Amino acid sequence: MDPVKSSAAWDNARRILAVRLDNLGDVLMTTPALRALRRPGRHITLLASAAGAAIVPFVPEIDAAILTAAPWMPNIPPDPESLLETAAALRAGEFDAAVIFTVYSQSPLPAAFLCWLADIPLRLAHCRENPYHLLSDWIPDPEPHEVLRHEVRRQLDLVAAVGCTTADERLSFRVCPEDAVRAVAKLQAAGIDPEEPWIVVHPGASAPSRRYPPEHFAAVADRLAASPGHQLVFTGEAGDRDLIAAILDRAGRPGASLAGALSLGELGAVIAPAALLIANNTGPVHIAAALGTPVVDLYALTNPQHGPWRVQNRVLYHDVPCRFCYRSICPQGHHDCLRLLDPQRVAEAARELLEQGADRSTPARLIPP
């Protein structure tokens, strides 16, 4: 059978369920595809994890959200009762169509089954095998053997198959004025002059395999502090306070820590006017890309598809034979793709971007868009 039906049925869909069950950064990288799905009179609901749904208030392309804990995703214990409640919520939503967004290492079929149970008539996804009746429309998945695309491009290609496109392929993140006011107050309280430029340094990451060593972050901070002109603002979750304190102590305290002090909206408000973000490959990189803030991305070679999208950037790593392992913990135990990245290279990349100024359209170098 033809995997993709005529887009005519999709043209008439008014209530769309967008399924994206992984993390905040993954939802951000899906926002151009969500924009492509939008049209007058159409309502888009996101089915997401709690982590992914945190971005919803800052994405105007999303009208509502339903939270779920899908047991086929990492570190989610099985809870059949909760899953049945999710199916009931989807049925009550009376959706006309569902688009299931996945990275190529994830199967869409469990989510497709959930949408089928909820009587959603149109169901679209990339799929590696014939889904038969679980998907009404599907794209045979060519990755990674035939093609390797940036995650944003993958999702744009998916919705384009049913006639949904957009001329605006930027990521989406809206800074609220109230968050900007609170962010300025917190910067001032930490000793940062909001009238002078600053660099945001975000040394945390959810996966251990994606963390640049703290002593290397300290060496980068020390080199940047030796060239005055930009204040250093360290950000992170509450659990990153000790990490950041250790970095600051080792570097002779060249900056201020806002670890655990910022809401997600306030973090966006701090990143938006920053001269630069230096970070591991994690959610704030994609927030910066959405806001047009240049990025030095310390990119662990776990996955080649998630670099900064359409923003001035430097993607830095040390090449290793075990590249693209797709693992949260280094399977070799050496972390060489980041451990062997010289802090001097990071500091030089930061200075290059600062000297060039902001160019809002440069794609990441790791994979072309």
- The per-residue pLDDT for 222 is 93
- Asked whether the predicted pLDDT for residue 266 surpasses 80, the reply is yes
Tell me the pLDDT band of 363, cut-offs 50, 70 and 90. Answer: very low
Among candidate residues 32, 110, 95, the one with its CA nearest the CA of residue 64: 95
- Asked whether the predicted pLDDT for residue 324 surpasses 60, the reply is yes
Write out the two tokens for 126: 């990339």
- The per-residue pLDDT for 294 is 97
* 119-132 pLDDT, tens digit each: 999 999 999 999 99
* pLDDT > 90 in the chain, percent: 73
Mean pLDDT of 141-162: 91
DSSP track, 47-101:
EE-HHHHTTGGG-TT--EEEE---TTSTT----HHHHHHHHHHHHHHT-SEEEE-
Tell me the pLDDT band of 369, cut-offs 50, 70 and 90. Answer: very low
In terms of DSSP H, where are the helices of the chain?
8-11, 24-37, 50-53, 80-93, 109-117, 151-160, 177-189, 214-225, 241-250, 264-271, 283-291, 336-339, 343-356
- The per-residue pLDDT for 319 is 84
Alpha-carbon gap, residue 301 to 281, rounded angstroms: 10
74 prior amide bond cis, ω within 30: no
Alpha-carbon gap, residue 15 to 44, rounded angstroms: 6
Q: Which residue has the tokens 């899906």?
A: 30
* 190-200 pLDDT, tens digit each: 999 999 999 99
Among candidate residues 158, 152, 157, 150, the one with its CA nearest the CA of residue 171: 152
Among candidate residues 275, 84, 290, the one with its CA nearest the CA of residue 174: 290
Tell me the pLDDT band of 118, cut-offs 50, 70 and 90. Answer: very high
* pLDDT > 70 in the chain, percent: 95
- The per-residue pLDDT for 241 is 95
Among candidate residues 99, 104, 100, 98, the one with its CA nearest the CA of residue 141: 104
- Asked whether the predicted pLDDT for residue 6 surpasses 80, the reply is no
* 227-251 pLDDT, tens digit each: 778 999 999 999 999 999 999 999 8
Of residues 235 and 210, which shows the higher confidence score? Answer: 235
Q: Which residue has the tokens 């001269």?
A: 275
* 81-98 pLDDT, tens digit each: 888 899 999 999 999 999
Mean pLDDT of 130-142: 93
- Asked whether the predicted pLDDT for residue 368 surpasses 60, the reply is no
Tell me the pLDDT band of 134, cut-offs 50, 70 and 90. Answer: very high
Enumerate domains of the chain plus CATH numbers: 8-160 (3.40.50.2000), 177-356 (3.40.50.2000)
Alpha-carbon gap, residue 138 to 124, rounded angstroms: 5
Alpha-carbon gap, residue 232 to 274, rounded angstroms: 10
- The per-residue pLDDT for 181 is 96
- The per-residue pLDDT for 78 is 77
Phi-psi region of 41 (alpha: psi -120 to 50; beta: other; left: phi over 0): left
In angstroms, the Cα distances linking 344 to 217, 224, 316 are: 10, 10, 11
Tell me the pLDDT band of 323, cut-offs 50, 70 and 90. Answer: confident
What is Dmax (Cα atoms) for the chain?
A: 65
Among candidate residues 2, 30, 9, 165, the one with its CA nearest the CA of residue 96: 9
- The per-residue pLDDT for 5 is 64
- The per-residue pLDDT for 361 is 43
- Mean of per-residue pLDDT scores for the chain: 90
Say what the pTM is. Answer: 0.91
Alpha-carbon gap, residue 198 to 133, rounded angstroms: 53
- The per-residue pLDDT for 335 is 82
* Pairing label, strands 64-67, 97-100: unpaired
